[in-house]
Amino acid sequence: MDATSDRARGVLSGMGAHRGLFVLVSIATFFEGFDTMLVSLVQPWLQEEFQASREALGDALGWSSAGMVLAFFVIHLADWLGRRPVFLGALFAYAVLTLATAFAPSLATFTILQVFARMAMVVELGLAYVILSEEMPAEIRGRVNGLFGSVATIGAAMPASLLAPLEAAGLGWRGLFLIGALPLLLFPLYVKRLPETRAFRARPPTRFSLRDELALVAGLFARAHRRRLVLVIALFLAINVWSGTALYFFTLYVFGERGFTAADLVWLPAGTIPFGFLGYSLSGVAMDRLGRRPAATLYFVAAFAATLLCYRSTWSPAIYLGYFLLIGLGGIWTIAITWSAELFPTSVRATAAGTTNNLFGRLGLVFAPMLAGRVTTALGSTADAITLFSGITLLVLPLVWLLPETNAAVLDVAGEATD
């Protein structure tokens, strides 16, 4: 960890005047990570309180993730309105909707609120990566985004340690959503301090029109972008299927098949925080040192192995270790998002991010949990179902090597990485 801390300090030093920007977006993303994990973490409590079946819980997970698909219709507006206003709107929306979820009277209401909360969360996260990619020096872009992604894993690790104390205090799972709404208190600071990116300010002035908006989206499917667009969509689909099963079903798995309780989750952050920080930080190092293609390959193969360790083991320490590795290997998100930002020009970068990750990629996060819930029932085992779905990480490997390598590509108004 000392070497990782030294690298983190070196990256922070290399940011220069942009350190304040990094801190601002990182705080917002800490809570995005916190809130994103809540839906999957509280599944056993939702099952008990709302008397829900495995299929119903899988459907709730899937439909709540549909908001991430809807995020497409918001995130690409950042190519017209600017990164700053759309980011601020998303930050405010996910905090308000997270607060409202704390008072949900039914599973249906819970799911509907989370549809829109998660839409806002991924808009905020996606634009945070775009903002950092456009503002940070090209030679450290991968490491900056890796360090940034590690902050989200710290946020994602915290809810597990809070469940037992909140249960003892009588707040239960609802207390987690109250805590997740804390960005509301910081919102005035973001309005005052968050700047627009230089790349967006430098582009020629544009006016929004529906015709131009449709042309912008259609332009992504033109011959110049079509091949890489399809490949990036496949990349995101694989990541979403893996995340929507291996990570989202962990609590149901250990509670239903391994006899865990809330007390067994209290100390999870002791492993998930260092593994998450290390895994995301190393994803940035791997990108900058090895290149985007080798880094993605390494993380996909390791993701498959870690899933097997977590879901095929019967020894609790091995299960914990597998889960810690799964959290760290979430750094594959940082690799995919950074790579995607480098593959498309500034004029369509946010639109490309919304199209590849949200409009199409997140469909994996919608339908994989639904299918996994049904496969779990059919096989009588969550472990068997998740093992089956984890194979997607190996199937996507040939496509990884068809994408252009974009290590240290310079991003400007007109440019993009070349094949």
Smallest CA-to-CA distance from 244 within 380, 49, 58, 408 is with: 58
Q: State mean pLDDT over 333-340.
A: 88
Q: What is the CATH number of the domain that holds 395?
A: 1.20.1250.20
Smallest CA-to-CA distance from 383 within 263, 258, 242, 237 is with: 258
pLDDT score at 4: 52
Q: Look at the chain and count its residues.
A: 419
* Contact assessment for residue 26 and residue 118, using Cβ atoms and an 8 Å cutoff: no
Give domain status of residue 154, yes or no: yes
Give domain status of residue 407, yes or no: no
Token output for 12? 């922070």
Residue 103 pLDDT > 90: yes
Question: pLDDT of 298-317, one tens digit each?
Answer: 999 999 999 999 999 999 99
- Domain with 324 in it: 16-192+208-400
Residue 15 pLDDT > 70: no
Question: pLDDT of 345-389, one tens digit each?
Answer: 777 777 787 788 878 888 898 899 889 988 998 999 999 999 999
How sure is the predictor about 410, in pLDDT bands with cuts at 50, 70 and 90?
A: low
Give the least confident one: 264-273, 286-295, 374-383, 410-419.
410-419
pLDDT score at 243: 92
Give domain status of residue 277, yes or no: yes
Give the least confident one: 172-176, 181-185, 194-198, 256-260.
194-198
Smallest CA-to-CA distance from 371 within 255, 259, 260, 248 is with: 248
Question: pLDDT of 210-259, one tens digit each?
Answer: 677 677 677 777 776 788 899 999 999 999 999 989 988 998 899 989 98
pLDDT score at 416: 47
Give domain status of residue 2, yes or no: no
Smallest CA-to-CA distance from 224 within 417, 2, 52, 23 is with: 417
Across the chain, mean pLDDT equals: 85
Q: State mean pLDDT over 52-74.
A: 84
- pLDDT higher at 80 or 412: 80
Give domain status of residue 246, yes or no: yes
Q: What is the DSSP letter of 205?
A: P
The count of other CB atoms within 10 Å of the CB of residue 104 is 19
Q: How many domains does the chain have?
A: 1
How sure is the predictor about 76, in pLDDT bands with cuts at 50, 70 and 90?
A: confident
Residue 150 pLDDT > 70: yes
Q: Which residues contact 129 (CB under 8 A, 6 or more apart)?
A: 145, 148, 334, 337, 338, 341, 353
Give domain status of residue 311, yes or no: yes
Give me the percent of the chain exceeding a pLDDT of 90. Answer: 36
pLDDT score at 352: 82
Identity of residue 124: E
Q: State mean pLDDT over 17-43.
A: 83
336/145 Cα distance (integer angstroms)? 11
Give domain status of residue 216, yes or no: yes
Give domain status of residue 42, yes or no: yes
Smallest CA-to-CA distance from 70 within 125, 119, 35, 124 is with: 119
Residue 102 pLDDT > 90: yes
Residue 3 pLDDT > 60: no
Q: State mean pLDDT over 134-162.
A: 80
Residue 393 pLDDT > 70: yes
Give the least confident one: 14-28, 178-192, 269-283.
14-28
How sure is the predictor about 411, in pLDDT bands with cuts at 50, 70 and 90?
A: low
* Contact assessment for residue 319 and residue 264, using Cβ atoms and an 8 Å cutoff: no
pLDDT score at 168: 85
Token output for 126? 């996606």
* Contact assessment for residue 280 and residue 334, using Cβ atoms and an 8 Å cutoff: yes
pLDDT score at 337: 85
Give me the percent of the chain exceeding a pLDDT of 70. Answer: 89
